[in-house]
Structure 1
Amino acid sequence: MRLLGAILAGGRSRRFGSDKALADLDGEPMIWRVAEAIGPFVDAIVVCGHPAPPPGMKRVPDVPGPGLGPLGGLAGALHHALAEGYAGVLSVGCDTPVLDGDLLRQLREAERATFVADAPIIGYWPTELYDTLLAHLATDPRRSMQGWTTAIGADPIDLPRPIPNVNTPEDLAALSA
């Protein structure tokens, strides 16, 4: 099964104060750390929604357009995956630079839509969900990942502890320490 890795990086980083995808974590931009973590589990990686990803990273625009939050990035990834013959998308946020290999393996091996219960941006999404996601985006004004996972009956994965998520400079400092 060919799997596309999608780093969702289209947010405005309001709480962070600057582009958190490119924020330095121990000498490396967070987005590269995410790419290194998911690389062994996917066949290719794209960055969704970010206006200017680092050199060497392929950009995929949000679908149907910008400003739709993580679901717009996921729709862009699913659109690209369909066009390129991938079976599904493994999505992660640019602000989750510490990812467990066992979790990523579990997502890679999922047979249906599966997500991390306390971080639904991290998940496996079969490409056949593309049209369903577009319809959801057209009818649900909230556009929440949690609402999407409920609407499609995706399988949640409960983890023993939360995945570190960097939303503020203080979160980044704590993760670095």
Structure 2
Amino acid sequence: MTLLGVVLAGGRSVRFGSDKAMAELHGRSLLSHAIDILGAVCDDVVIAGHDRGIPGRTTVPDVPRRDLGPLGGLCGALLHAERLGYDALLSIGCDTPRLDRAVIERLLGEAGPAYLVEAPIIGHWPIALARPLLAHLETSEDRSIRRWADTMGARVIHAGVSIPNLNRPEDLDALRIRERD
């Protein structure tokens, strides 16, 4: 199975107050950490919805338009992967600097779509979902990854471990403190 990784990084970072993707943890951007997580298991990694990515890293636009939330980035990445002949996509958010390898293996463990109940943005998406997602975004106002994934028959995976949720600068500070101990 050929697997493309996508870091969903198109949010406005309103709660964070600045570009969350470029915030630093241990001297590297959160975006770089997320790319490394996916790079360890995927054939290639792209960035969705973020125009100031990493040099040499492909950036794909949200589809069918901007400001659709993570589903727009996921749709753009699925269509990009479809054009390149990938079988599936593994997605995480730019604010996911840590993700246990065993959790990723559970997401990829069976055929079909799957997402983490604790963070639905983290998921495994067969390329066959590209066109259904595009149709959904063109005809529905519902932007919930969880509800869309459930209509596609996605498996719900429980991480069983803590997944950092970095929505505010204080969340990033707390992670820095935990990792220092």
SS of 1:41's equivalent in the other structure is coil
TM-score normalised by structure 2 residue count: 0.94
| 1:10-50 superposed Cα distances (whole Å, 9 cap, x missing partner) | 00000001101010001110111111112121000000000
Map of 2:86 onto structure 1: 86
Counterpart CA distance in 1 for 2:72 and 2:168 is: 23
State the 1:147 CA deviation: 1.3
What SS does structure 2 have at the residue aligned with 1:4?
strand
Q: Tell me which amino acid in the other structure corresponds to 1:63.
A: V
Task: Give unmatched runs, 5+ long, in structure 1.
Answer: none
| SS in structure 1 at match of 2:62 | coil
In structure 2, the residue matched to 1:28 is 28
The equivalent of 2:4 in structure 1 is 4
Residue 119 of structure 1 pairs with residue 94 of structure 2: no
* Counterpart in the other structure of 1:65: 65
Partners of 1:59 and 1:169 lie apart in 2 by 25
Offset at residue 154 of structure 1 (A): 0.5
**CA apart distance, 1:109:** 3.5
RMSD of aligned residue pairs (Cα, Å): 1.1
Deviation at 1:141, TM superposition (A): 0.7
- Is 1:108 paired with 2:108? yes
Name the amino acid aligned to 1:107: L
Q: Name 2:14's counterpart in structure 1.
A: 14
User: Does the 8 A contact of 2:7 with 2:47 survive in 1?
Assistant: yes
Does the 8 A contact of 1:116 with 1:122 survive in 2? yes
Which amino acid in the other structure matches residue 130 of structure 2? Y
State the match for 1:168 in structure 2: 168
Work out the CA distance in 1 between the residues paired with 2:169 and 2:136. Answer: 33
Counterpart secondary structure, 2:40: helix
CA distance in structure 1 between the aligned counterparts of 2:110 and 2:172, rounded to whole angstroms: 31
CA contact (8 A) 1:5 1:91 kept: yes
Alpha-carbon deviation of 1:159? Answer: 2.2
Q: 2:107·2:157 contact (CA, 8 Å) conserved in 1?
A: no
CA shift for structure 1 position 110: 3.1
Note if contact 1:3-1:108 (Cα within 8 Å) is conserved in structure 2.
no
Number of residues paired by the alignment?
A: 177
The residue number in structure 2 matching 1:39 is 39
Superposed CA deviations along residues 63-122 of structure 1, whole A, max 9, x for unmatched, are: 111111100000011001000010010000001111111112222333100110111100
Say which is worse superposed, 26-35 or 153-162, in terms of deviation. 153-162
Unpaired stretches in structure 2, ≥5 consecutive residues: none
Q: Counterpart of 1:176 in structure 2: which amino acid? A: R
Tell me whether 50-59 or 128-137 shows the greater mean CA deviation: 50-59
> How much has 1:137 moved relative to structure 2?
1.1
Q: What's the counterpart of residue 158 of structure 2?
A: 158
